[in-house]
Structure 1
Amino acid sequence: MGAGHAHRLYRPGASPVHRLPAQCKIAAVLCFVLVVVATPRAAVWAFGCYALLLAAVAAAARIPAGVLLKRLLIEVPFVLFAFFLPFVASGPRTEVLGLQLSVSGLWGAWNILAKGTLGVAASVLLASTTELRSLLLGLQRLRLPPLLVQIASFMIRYGDVITDEMRRMRIARVSRGFEATGPRHWKVLATSAGALFIRSYERGERVHLAMVSRGYGGSMPVIDEVTASRAQWAYAAALPAAALVVCLMGWTLV
């Protein structure tokens, strides 16, 4: 997979959650999200239990609540969509704070907010406790198609390169007195986007030729294999197992 490539979401630590192999954490988060999605929306108390489970994981991983809440801001677009849903949905309506809102829209908004927030929080915890390179190795260990793993690896590795290229092009435009203030400047921005695409394509060709010249045959070598013991799998399974118990109780009590 090459050398390590740290990302901003990762918070170094020596907690039990940090020490778990990546494949265990990926499988645990995936199973947890599936259980959350399968929970009936009327079981409101169940989602509170899920939040407590994630809070316990965050405490075990020593991830501050402020950091977790700050990173949850990524779901703001979904929150806005959920906010408007009770106003535009059809069906029976009820009065809330003097407003006539759709009952089905309210339930739909709650469903999106609760399940979406829990899913994003679980993903944030995964990214905060697992190095990027370890995530890729974990996906490979879970038998994800090698081509998808390679695409993800290249995308992450060269995303920063493309971003830096965009920054240099923006500095070049500003140094020449350009400032986008309206539609009449869209042509310049479109030209810049086209130039960035050409540069990225040419860079990709050069990278591919360099890899082939060094013996690349369609698969990336794995430098180290991180295996997981039964105890580590059991430790990681505690989160989805507890969530599954809550989900089954939710279906029973609804």
Structure 2
Amino acid sequence: MMTTNKLTKILSGVATLGIATAIAAPAQAATFTVPIVAGGGMVDTVLVNTGSGYGLSIGGMVYDSVVVGDKVFSDFSVVAQVAAGDGLSFILNGGVWTVQYNPAGMGRNQGQLHYQVAITDPTMYFDDVLFDTDISGVGTYKASKEIKTLAGASLLTLESVNGAEAMGSIASDMVQSIKVIDTYGIDSTGTATLLQSSTNDFTQFGTKVPEPGTILGLLAVGGLGMVSRFKKQK
């Protein structure tokens, strides 16, 4: 939990795809779409200050949002030590969407990362959320993740203390768009304890919509039933 990048171990097989994806980025697009191969994909990005906000540099081009499957990540902003030059990786692997924050240099003591996530599939909703951190040094280090609606209502708060994983669910809220606020160094015993990375995992669940043929079939059966009852009444 202290210095090993857990996500890199799990997703080492996807890293090559991420590099190829970054090189292939089109210059004219404001939204970068990660190619999905066998249900997975990855891209590494770098936070950049655009003057009017923050964007993501991919292969030398700057984008304001990243699409991974049916998830759109956008509206990035930072506070305190989180800054331009820090890295963000976006990954889809095994039905889990991951955002990994990788601070530049030796790490970060304090700061915030803000962004939004939207599901484009109208039948899907956010389910489980996992928050995990890697730290270096000694002492106590606490970070938190807050999930809010776009209107600002709080849905879930998770805390990672000394690199521990924290998990919760927002399934009961049936939301398709959320705002994420990751706060680092809420409680730190000194600048010697630094954040090396943070991992955010999102899963989803769906409500299946009947196929058009199924709907027509149900309507036909219902119509036959009404005719049958009408004959009996006669």
Larger Rg, first or second structure (1 or 2): 1
* TM-score between both structures, scaled by the size of structure 2: 0.22
- What TM-score, normalized by structure 1, do the two folds share? 0.20
Higher strand share: 2
Relative to total residues, which structure has the larger helix share, 1 or 2?
A: 1
